[in-house]
Chain A
Amino acid sequence: MSFGTVLRAGAVALAMTAPAMAETVKVGVIGPFSGPFSGSFGEPFRQGVETYVAMNGQPADGIEVEFIWRDLQKPDPGQARALAQELVAKDGVQYLAGFVFTPNAIAAAGISQQAKIPTVIFNASASAVVSQSEYYVRTSNTLAQVSVPTAQDALDKGYKTVVTAVSDYAPGVDAETNFAKAFTEGGGEVLESIRMPLSTTDFGPYLQSIQLKKPDALFVFLPYGPPTYSFVNAYRDNGLDKAGIAFVGTSETQEVDLQSLGDAALGLETGYFYSAAHESPENDAFKAKLKELYPNAEPNPATVAAFDGTHALYEMIRATGGKTDPDAAIAAIKGKSWESPRGPITIDADTRDIVQNVYIRKVEKDADGRLVNREYKTYEAQPDFGAQK
């Protein structure tokens, strides 16, 4: 072996190790990766992030993103703050992301604000969240954002009277308030507002007493999983559909629950921001990659929120060349628009909250006999109606 060969081999070896010297940008993701909320949020978060990375590679040449996952199973503000602090101080993350529950997102806002950590909220959907830190950006939705168009649609369908029945917790109350406000302002009447305890398992009596009030429609908001399942079945089994009381909902028929709801869900109409049946090349590409990586995963609103959240992170990382410059990063994402699998979305330049279409959908069977949310009406570019001006 000549000296020249050794040199050349050395040069090749050096060239190959060069990417290892690239800028590594760390992103801390906080969410319920185990426990009762992992199926509806933790797993979709991870799948959304991984799918985006698989489709787009690294943000730019010489920049490598490393995601650090931290498990936070339930609403626990103290723990949320501690995890955020640890990620920033110990792991040295430049960005934070995730957050299912509003109290957790609000608790971590202090860290984001003081340490200037741009943070992408993947779920927490109370209006107040994004205003808590100047470095917060949201890619999910707010409850007002989906409830107000849903109320307008109910009025357009000619419903004059409704009863609202929501689970008695912050998001439920938020949805009820916003829906009722929009519905009465549009000339409708709310006959009764029922708040059902979170631990309710038997919804029959509520539905029977609603039936006695004979409203045109019933607006509901329930947590994902078991309560939604029991409620929808009770709605059918107590004959409210046959009595002509229409079901008006938002996230109840989301994809993670839809197949298990079964035929009871057929015909239900809801207003929400993402349907897996949305027809666009972006959504097709997203679904195909997701299926390739996770054959059993359902494309869910939470998956798309994390997918778009990763896009927002990439935008910020690209704008700052991977360097720590939080103000430039946030400035870069403000006012940005792009085509998401859900449709066109924009990060509002002032509020840093998402502006997006809200679709009115009806549950139908597709060609394969699977249940889908078929979009048939669009309320374009809806802002967060609950934002404090």
Chain B
Amino acid sequence: MASLLASILIDGFAYGMVLFMVSVGLTVTLGLMRFVNLAHGMFAMIGGYAAASLITMAGVPYILALILAAIVAGIIALGLEISVIRWMYGRPELDQVLLTIGLVFIGIALAGMLFGNSLVPVPLPDMLRGASDLGFRVMPTQRIVAAVVGLLSLLAIWLLLDRTMFGIRLRATVDNARAAGELGINTRRVYAIAFSVGAALAGLGGVVGAELLPVEPYYPLKYLVLFLAVVAVGGPGSVFGSLIAALLLGTVETAGKYLAPGFATIGLFVVMLLVLSWRPDGLFHRKSRL
């Protein structure tokens, strides 16, 4: 019984960290910037493809490929921000939905053309493959990597938002773009950088989560509900909230798999329903407009 509970907590934590990694970028773009970014999965997919190509074609080591993949996703996002997304911030949410879902379809078609319609694995180095022995059971080594990268990202985002000038400017811009502009903040640039950072985090998540959510053209649509669930339950805009939500959802689904296989996925949505009817703005919604 104790080992069953431990198993649920360990697997739930490992799965939750992967969920956190693949959705944390969305917390920034959707939550902080209030931009309805349904194309989040596309940036994760770009990261995954970038890492897979770098490792298999250029022989780049895994960790370096991970960082480069995030940069690639960030740069592509920056290009999109400057060319199309920038014009959508003030527009109604429906317009943003239509634009980003359109981007998703273009992304799916392009990915299919460039990389084929079957999945592309992101090869792991031997060190990170296989099982790690925890004494009473084993755990996939790769999940430990996901957890570590997840915690590091959490720390980095917190530092960026709460401890840097950029964080102050971003919060000011999100709260009141006009006043921020009057005070000499280049709000356009702040938005562009924030969007790019969000996409880079998505790219990171795409690589780290590739064992569970394999990289393929339909990635952005297939897992969209998963990303949105994490951000909605956590409270849009709260990075810490996303972490708690991801861990909660991950643990609930994992418990379902151990105790009532077949109902596992329903369990996840029941929790989502309960949380959102109790707190419609999510667990950690910030009181002010940020």
Contacts and interface: CB of A to CB of B under 8 A. Distances in A.
Co-complex (A, B): yes
B257 interface: yes
B116 A296 contact: yes
Interface string A236-252: 11110010000000000
B270 interface: no
Contacts of B15: 202, 204-205
Interface in A144-203: 168, 194-197, 199-202
Interface in A198-244: 199-202, 204-206, 208-209, 211, 225-226, 229-230, 233-234, 236-239, 242
Interface in B194-228: 211-214, 216-218, 222-223, 226
Question: Could you tell me the dominant secondary structure of chain A's interface residues?
Answer: helix
Interface in B237-283: 250, 253-254, 257-258, 261-262, 264-265
B18 interface: yes
Interface residues on chain B, size class: 35 or more
Contacts of B257: 200, 202, 205-206, 209
B142 A237 contact: yes
B186 interface: no
B119 A229 contact: yes
B141 A237 contact: yes
A40 interface: yes
Interface string A247-284: 00000000011001110000000000000000000000
A257 B120 CA distance: 10
A260 B210 CA distance: 12
Contacts of B226: 201
A202 B212 contact: yes
B121 A229 contact: yes
Contact of A205 (B120, B142, B254): B254
A225 B118 contact: yes
A43 interface: yes
B14 interface: yes
A228 B223 CA distance: 17
Contact of B131 (A201, A239, A262): A239
A386 interface: no
Interface string B135-151: 00111111100000000
B212 A257 contact: no
Contacts of A39: 112, 116-118
A242 B119 CA distance: 27
B163 to A, nearest CB: 34
A22 B139 CA distance: 66
Contact of A168 (B137, B211, B222, B262): B262
B284 to A, nearest CB: 24
Given A199-B265, A230-B214, A262-B123, A257 B118 contact: yes
Interface string B157-172: 0000000000000000
Contact of A237 (B8, B117, B131, B222): B131
B129 interface: yes
Contact of B130 (A40, A197, A236): A236
A205 B211 contact: no
A36 B121 contact: no
B214 A226 contact: yes
A132 interface: no
Nearest to B117: A39
Given A236-B130, A262-B123, A202 B253 contact: yes
B211 A233 contact: yes
Given A225-B119, A237-B142, A260-B121, A201 B212 contact: yes
B121 A262 contact: yes
Interface of A: 36, 38-40, 43, 168, 194-197, 199-202, 204-206, 208-209, 211, 225-226, 229-230, 233-234, 236-239, 242, 256-257, 260-262, 296
11 contacts: A39-B112, A39-B116, A39-B117, A168-B262, A196-B261, A202-B250, A208-B11, A230-B211, A238-B138, A260-B119, A260-B120
Given A36-B216, A206-B261, 5 more contacts: A39-B112, A39-B117, A196-B264, A202-B212, A204-B15
